[in-house]
A and B are shown apart, each in its own frame.
Chain A
Amino acid sequence: MQKYFDIEFWRRVTYVDVTLWLMRAAVIIVVVWGTIGTLIDGRYSNEQWFDFVMFGLTMGGIYALVALGYTMVYGILRLINFAHGDIFMTGAFTAYFVASPLGKSGFLEENLLISMIIICLTAMVTCVIIALTVERICYRPFRSVRSFAPLICAIGASFFIQHSFRGMYGSSVRAYPDVEFFDKLLSIGSFDFPMIQPVVILAALGSMTGLYLIVMKTRMGTAMRATSEDRDTASLMGIDVNRVIIFTFVLGGSMAGIGGVLYAFVFKQVYFFMGFFPGIKAFSAAVLGGIGNIPGAMLGGFFLGTVESVGPALFLDGLGIVAPYQLRDLIAFTMLVMVLIFRPQGLLGERVSQRA
């Protein structure tokens, strides 16, 4: 607070600072005003709010799984794996060709757990293969180069993967099989929700716990953390950095695979472009939680999912905006931009992420 009383501080304020403050103020005013407006109006019942939150947490779980891939790769290689959203797509899309016959033969309904494991494994293996290929072709040659090159390669990889899969599996939207168990409504008091939502949340939490244990308790995890602290020193300590990087991509790819299958069972459809928006949102989640920070990515994912789901109703409806649901992506992108501008270290991060 002290600095605001210093006249020197005010002398150094430029129009850029003023604009940024105005931006912040505008966002806060919009949020507060919209919230008050909506709450006074009372247009939504408690059940509806519960629906929004549950859906948000479901999406949040998926975002968190994908965000882990971004955050781990950033932590170790200091680069944005732009193709990660499309890696997520490859898993879900390939697993469709396992899920669909399983669903048709009725095996899926009878042995749900086993078939879910099979489907997830397919997706994970696909994602890991693609992720490792991307690493080998696009990132490894530029590992010791500080430039735009890896990012541009990643953008190229993203398009290449998308359109290869479009060519391979076709451009039509494929529908995942319906599972009775997932569609069943579960009710607690007057709130009811489909079974898929808690399943997704629990599966996401379970996978994340597994990942957290791997990173914190195993030797490889320790090596990962060491490499992310300081790659050169780690390699001097006898850590095979190459293996650590491959392991990171394996972990990130498998999380994306699980996320992809869960996403496909929530939305019931897969197509070649499906990875783009979840990818960007998951990246936002990773930034939100502090990129390079594993618990941060999980928290960021759930936070982003919830805000995005509750937001249109809570902030925008109160402002009298027509069809606020069209602006769902707006909320995610605004959060992304605001975090990048005002708090690049994220909610939990201590790491100063400024890469020249």
Chain B
Amino acid sequence: MAFNIVASSFEQKYIERSQWHMTGMTGFIFGFVALYFNFVGLMTQFMERWIIEGVLTLAHLTIMGVALFGGVTIAIRSKNLSAAGKVANGAAVGAMIGIALSLLMLFMTQLDIRFMFVALSNKLFLFLSWKQGLEGGITLQIVLSAALGALGALIVVMPKVLRRPLIWGLSAVFIVGLFSELIQLVMQYEFILGFRDWFFTWEGQRVQGAMVVFVVSFSAMLFWTIRGGAVKERFGQLSPSGQKSIRYFGWACALILFLLFPAAAGSFFGQVMMYVGLFILMGMGLNLELGLAGLLDLGFVAFFAAGAYTIALFTGEHELQILLLDRPLTWWEALPLAVLVSVAIGFMFGIPVLKVRGDYLAVATMGLGEIIRVVVLSDMAAPLLGGSQGMLHIPRPSLFGWELNDPIYLFYLTLVCASVAGYFAWALENSRLGRAWMAIREDEDVGQALGINLVNVKLLAYGLGAAFAGLAGAIFAVMLTSIFPHSFQLLISINILALLIVGGLGSLPGVVVGAAMLIGTPELLREFGEYRFLAYGAVLIAMMRIKPIGLWPSAARKREIQSAEEIEASIREQMEEEGQRT
């Protein structure tokens, strides 16, 4: 079940398209994207968010960004054109985007469609027309989009010395503006307050702040583009041990900064980083099942729930635990129990689906996960598990008589657990068992013929994967000190699946990257929270289409892909040769 990207159909890839067709298609697609943002209500949300206070909102940037990217795309795709031709085509694409938006404006004024499309408000119309009324708005929009499209193409044809600093400068302004609220949260100390208030308001960055950010990042990048080669050369001239020590020093600094960051930046960041840590834990668990053993498990959240509920049962005041024990366990005592229960659930999960393969396995595990959720939610299990009311008053863990009641402490707890688990995951990957998993991922029958005991190996994948999720569940239970069945929906499983795909299946650093991107970013941008699953869907499709190996693939996978690309290149060469002959 490897991600076999070699076999994607060649015949569709190498059809020559005329320039007209290409420009038209690009304009059409980007126009559609621009319209989509409006229809789906993202624009209405983005209008509320200033990037540069009083000047630019996120919505302006999005609509301009679409035109800009349209220009960039067409300029990259049309390889045979001169620079002027590229710019002209960029302008054409931009104009098409402008026309699409103008049609939307026309549509909004002529028809009353608000009852169907809730997002198309008056405010949106004012925004789209730049407050110029219908005709002025249409003209302005088309001209502006065309100009931006041309600018996009211009950026591509521009010399590198200018292009790189420009891109960096603009991106820096954008990122600082987007996260300005969070940056201000970090700058909470007395002595930089004046500095902070010169740069930002709570709405966004000030104009002068944005200028400073732009100038600084622009000139830094300009310097690097011109002088970077020399610096690299100097570094290369150092002795190998010197290089190594500089590198280690860099890594150590980064690690210390990372460790101190939540403590310095406040509990909000601690909370977010802890949440990311939980998903890293679960991601490592699913990575054992899916990334190594190739078992697509959509019921993974059940193991997470098992861990959380075990902690709730044994540490809170509960009848069952009074029946079995004379006192509630502490969190540390219940932790191994939680992991064990998850492992047991993992085995119970695994046994029935041993013989089910591929897509069917995904659906079967999803069914099992949903069965567990329905049972937990029902009144039948309510006396034990609290039904839809959930379980409340779970005591927080304490260490040497010190209650870990702040998200920052819990973050460090998560960090320790994740590091230990990460070590185990790494060791497992390189063990005999890990190799057996990878063998059955590639081909079950061959693996069995080579003497791998399929039953044991698969059950161990489920059980060990579940152990990671159980650990995460145990921490999750004390995060809010209460748990509810609706925290354990199928969405969590999909979340974990998505972060694995984004990071790269079978790669541990990939899990971290994926979790930071898919869990961390939406947590930081809470106000767009309802659109996060929209983004997940888009990301899943885009990753599968564009980069199926993920952002940080494992070394083995990278090698496979490289050899696959070589094969593809040789086939392309062959095809071209044949084309020349005929």
Q: Which of B94-102, B181-189, B363-371 lies at the interface with chain A?
A: B363-371
Instruction: Verify B355–A164 contact, CB threshold 8 A.
Output: no
Q: What residues of chain B lie closer than 8 Å to A348, measured between beta carbons?
A: none
Closest to B536 in A: A159
- Shortest C-beta distance, A151 to chain B (Å), equals 5
Instruction: Verify A344–B117 contact, CB threshold 8 A.
Output: no
Instruction: Verify A327–B368 contact, CB threshold 8 A.
Output: no
Residue from B5, B40, B375, B540 within 8 A of A155 (CB atoms): B540
Q: Measured between alpha carbons, how far is A341 from B354 in the docked complex, in Å? A: 9
Instruction: Verify B4–A145 contact, CB threshold 8 A.
Output: yes
A326 interface residue (CB < 8 Å to B): yes
- Shortest C-beta distance, A281 to chain B (Å), equals 11
Take A20-B351, A153-B544, A333-B367 as given contacts and tell me if A341 and B356 are in contact as well, using a CB distance cutoff of 8 Å.
yes
Interface size on B, residues (CB 8 A): 64
Interface string of A23-44 (1 = CB under 8 A from B): 1000000000000000000000
Instruction: Verify B540–A337 contact, CB threshold 8 A.
Output: no
Q: Which of A284-311 contact B (CB under 8 A)?
A: 284, 287
- Shortest C-beta distance, B360 to chain A (Å), equals 5
Q: What residues of chain B lie closer than 8 Å to A155, measured between beta carbons?
A: 494, 497, 537, 540
Instruction: Verify B541–A337 contact, CB threshold 8 A.
Output: no
A50 interface residue (CB < 8 Å to B): no
Q: Which of B430-438, B475-483, B527-535 lies at the interface with chain A?
A: B527-535
Q: What residues of chain A lie closer than 8 Å to B7, measured between beta carbons?
A: 144-146
Take A19-B352, A149-B548, A167-B39 as given contacts and tell me if A353 and B360 are in contact as well, using a CB distance cutoff of 8 Å.
yes
A202 interface residue (CB < 8 Å to B): no
Q: Measured between alpha carbons, how far is A58 from B296 in the docked complex, in Å? A: 34
Instruction: Verify B377–A156 contact, CB threshold 8 A.
Output: no
Q: Measured between alpha carbons, how far is A155 from B363 in the docked complex, in Å? A: 11
Residue from A147, A148, A168 within 8 A of B118 (CB atoms): A168
Q: Measured between alpha carbons, how far is A153 from B536 in the docked complex, in Å? A: 11
Q: Measured between alpha carbons, how far is A162 from B532 in the docked complex, in Å? A: 12
Instruction: Verify A356–B444 contact, CB threshold 8 A.
Output: yes
Q: Measured between alpha carbons, how far is A323 from B366 in the docked complex, in Å? A: 24
Instruction: Verify A355–B533 contact, CB threshold 8 A.
Output: no
Closest to B362 in A: A151
Q: Which of A121-146 contact B (CB under 8 A)?
A: 137-138, 141-146
A212 interface residue (CB < 8 Å to B): no
Q: Measured between alpha carbons, how far is A145 from B2 in the docked complex, in Å? A: 10
Instruction: Verify A159–B537 contact, CB threshold 8 A.
Output: yes
Say whether chain A's binding surface is mostly helix, strand, loop, or mixed.
helix
Take A97-B116, A157-B537, A341-B356 as given contacts and tell me if A330 and B8 are in contact as well, using a CB distance cutoff of 8 Å.
no
A166 interface residue (CB < 8 Å to B): yes
Q: Measured between alpha carbons, how far is A208 from B359 in the docked complex, in Å? A: 27
B195 interface residue (CB < 8 Å to A): no
Q: Measured between alpha carbons, how far is A16 from B357 in the docked complex, in Å? A: 16
B33 interface residue (CB < 8 Å to A): no
Q: What residues of chain A lie closer than 8 Å to B356, measured between beta carbons?
A: 340-341, 344
Closest to A354 in B: B357
Instruction: Verify A355–B530 contact, CB threshold 8 A.
Output: no
Residue from A164, A169, A323 within 8 A of B116 (CB atoms): A169
Instruction: Verify A329–B548 contact, CB threshold 8 A.
Output: no
Q: Measured between alpha carbons, how far is A19 from B455 in the docked complex, in Å? A: 13
Interface string of B415-448 (1 = CB under 8 A from A): 0000000000000000000000000000110000
Q: What residues of chain A lie closer than 8 Å to B455, measured between beta carbons?
A: 14, 16
Q: What residues of chain B lie closer than 8 Å to A321, measured between beta carbons?
A: 380
Instruction: Verify A153–B540 contact, CB threshold 8 A.
Output: yes
Instruction: Verify A322–B544 contact, CB threshold 8 A.
Output: no
Take A20-B351, A148-B1, A323-B380 as given contacts and tell me if A153 and B368 are in contact as well, using a CB distance cutoff of 8 Å.
no
Q: What residues of chain A lie closer than 8 Å to B351, measured between beta carbons?
A: 16, 19-20
Q: What residues of chain A lie closer than 8 Å to B39, measured between beta carbons?
A: 167-168
Instruction: Verify A333–B116 contact, CB threshold 8 A.
Output: no
Q: What residues of chain A lie closer than 8 Å to B536, measured between beta carbons?
A: 156, 159
B378 interface residue (CB < 8 Å to A): yes
Interface string of A150-178 (1 = CB under 8 A from B): 01110111111111101111110000000
Q: Measured between alpha carbons, how far is A340 from B299 in the docked complex, in Å? A: 15
Q: What residues of chain B lie closer than 8 Å to A148, measured between beta carbons?
A: 1, 3, 296, 358
B353 interface residue (CB < 8 Å to A): yes
Closest to A165 in B: B40
Take A156-B539, A356-B358, A356-B444 as given contacts and tell me if A336 and B363 are in contact as well, using a CB distance cutoff of 8 Å.
yes
Q: Measured between alpha carbons, how far is A142 from B4 in the docked complex, in Å? A: 9
- Shortest C-beta distance, B38 to chain A (Å), equals 10
B492 interface residue (CB < 8 Å to A): no
Interface string of B1-40 (1 = CB under 8 A from A): 1111101110000000000000000000000000010011
Q: Measured between alpha carbons, how far is A141 from B497 in the docked complex, in Å? A: 21
Closest to A163 in B: B534
Take A16-B455, A156-B541, A356-B444 as given contacts and tell me if A327 and B378 are in contact as well, using a CB distance cutoff of 8 Å.
yes
- Shortest C-beta distance, A70 to chain B (Å), equals 11
Q: Measured between alpha carbons, how far is A163 from B535 in the docked complex, in Å? A: 9
Q: What residues of chain B lie closer than 8 Å to A344, measured between beta carbons?
A: 356, 360
Instruction: Verify B371–A322 contact, CB threshold 8 A.
Output: no
Closest to B443 in A: A356
Instruction: Verify A80–B364 contact, CB threshold 8 A.
Output: no
Q: What residues of chain A lie closer than 8 Å to B525, measured between beta carbons?
A: none
Instruction: Verify A330–B545 contact, CB threshold 8 A.
Output: no
Q: Measured between alpha carbons, how far is A333 from B379 in the docked complex, in Å? A: 18
A72 interface residue (CB < 8 Å to B): no
Instruction: Verify B363–A146 contact, CB threshold 8 A.
Output: no
Q: Measured between alpha carbons, how far is A141 from B2 in the docked complex, in Å? A: 16
Q: Measured between alpha carbons, how far is A330 from B375 in the docked complex, in Å? A: 8
Q: Which 5 A-B pairs have the closest CB atoms?
A: A156-B540, A160-B537, A159-B537, A167-B40, A163-B534
With A153-B541, A280-B367, A326-B379 known, 20 other A-B pairs at CB within 8 A are A14-B455, A97-B115, A97-B116, A144-B9, A147-B3, A147-B4, A148-B3, A149-B548, A152-B501, A152-B544, A159-B537, A163-B530, A164-B36, A167-B42, A168-B39, A340-B353, A340-B356, A341-B352, A355-B359, A356-B443
28 pairs from A and B in contact (CB 8 Å cutoff):
A16-B351, A137-B545, A138-B541, A142-B8, A148-B358, A155-B540, A156-B538, A156-B539, A159-B494, A163-B530, A163-B531, A167-B41, A168-B40, A169-B116, A170-B118, A283-B363, A326-B377, A329-B374, A330-B374, A333-B371, A337-B352, A341-B352, A341-B364, A344-B356, A344-B360, A354-B360, A355-B359, A356-B443
Spell out B's residues near A (CB within 8 Å): 1-5, 7-9, 36, 39-42, 115-119, 296, 351-360, 362-364, 366-368, 370-371, 374-375, 377-380, 382, 443-444, 455, 494, 497-498, 501, 530-531, 533-534, 536-541, 544-545, 548
